[in-house]
Homo-oligomer: A and B are copies of this chain.
């Protein structure tokens, strides 16, 4: 199962970090991406040991970000938390720290200002990231999350921030967030030329989508044409694992974890 990574949010309702990593190993999967709450629950050093003992690549730690804040104290708290996230990513040997950058703070309606806070926040943590050789991966999120989760909503916008900040920051390309973008292939090519692709997340967009956050589909069950996107990302020079990340409150989170992994493997072989 080389080339496949399981973001552990995909089985977060079924398993803790240890059970999830051991199950992945049993299925021949060689890469995972944990969330910080999963790591915290297992304990950081214990999580690192479990991952190492099972020979797992860590394709990313989810997540830093959430920079915009209504107060100076809030901004500083976000920066401090991101510095800790960098340290955790280093301890886990992650390929990158994934940044979900945050939306509008408090009662603000000023998305331009929020976007500025994001760039400033990343700039503030970048020296620590560079000093620790931990790449920061900006994940542009679907525009339907612009208000409450991430005000960076296209790959082009994320790359503009990367270019503004210099080395040490790149992008996580999640098909769920970017599949609709008329500029997708152009921006993937640009990301490749800039050497900024740090992660490639997969799942599918269901029709209908019944919930804005927790109704992502398994690869092949929706409308995203995955193979051409994969081909473009590989042609752009990223050859790391494709990381399956599925939030699915009413379907996959209710199934047996092993069935979820078996399905991920089968779909990875056939439609990705």
Chain B: which residue is nearest A208 at the CB level?
Answer: B148
Tell me, in angstroms, the Cα distance from A189 to B209 when the chains sit together.
33
Q: List 8 tightest A-B contacts by C-beta distance, closest first.
A: A146-B180, A109-B225, A143-B180, A144-B144, A147-B223, A157-B182, A147-B207, A143-B143
> Chain B residues near A156 (CB, 8 Å)?
182
Is the C-beta of A23 less than 8 angstroms from some C-beta in chain B?
no
Closest B residue, CB atoms, query A182:
B157
Interface 1/0 per residue, A194-210 and B, CB below 8 Å: 00000000000101110
Which residue of B has the minimal Cβ distance to A153?
A: B180
Query: Which residues of chain A from 159 to 206 have a CB within 8 Å of any chain B CB?
Result: 179-182, 205
Instruction: Determine how close the nearest CB of chain B comes to the CB of A66; give it in whole angstroms.
Output: 15
CA distance A148 to B108 in the complex (A): 31
CB-CB nearest in chain B for A156: B182
Decide yes or no: A144 and B209 within 8 Å by CB, A182-B153, A223-B104 being known contacts. yes
Closest to A212 in B: B209
Measured between beta carbons, the chain B residues less than 8 angstroms from A157 are 182
A216 part of interface (Cβ distance < 8 Å):
no
Chain A contact surface mostly: loop
Which chain B residue lies CB-closest to A144? B144
Q: Do A182 and B223 touch (CB < 8 A)?
A: no
29 contacts between A and B (CB under 8 A): A104-B207, A104-B223, A108-B223, A109-B223, A109-B225, A110-B225, A111-B179, A111-B180, A111-B223, A115-B182, A142-B144, A143-B143, A143-B180, A143-B181, A146-B179, A146-B180, A147-B180, A147-B205, A147-B207, A147-B222, A147-B223, A148-B207, A148-B208, A151-B180, A153-B181, A156-B182, A157-B182, A208-B212, A209-B212
Closest to A109 in B: B225
In the complex, how many angstroms separate the beta carbon of A82 from the nearest chain B beta carbon?
22
Q: How large is the interface on A (under 10, 10 to 19, 20 to 34, 35 or more residues)?
A: 20 to 34
Which B residues are CB-close (under 8 A) to A104?
A: 207, 223
**Which residues of B sit under 8 angstroms from A110, Cβ to Cβ?**
225
Contact of A142 among B115, B143, B205 (CB under 8 A): B143
A5 interface residue per 8 A CB criterion: no
- Residues from chain B with a CB closer than 8 A to the CB of A109 are 223-225
Chain B min CB distance to A147 (Å)? 5
Asked if A7 is at the interface of the complex by the 8 Å CB criterion, the answer is no
Q: Is A30 an interface residue (CB 8 A)?
A: no
A115 — which chain B residues lie within 8 A by C-beta? Answer: 182
Which residues 198-249 of A have a CB within 8 angstroms of B? 205, 207-209, 212, 222-225
Question: What residues on B are CB-neighbors of A209 within 8 Å?
Answer: 144, 212
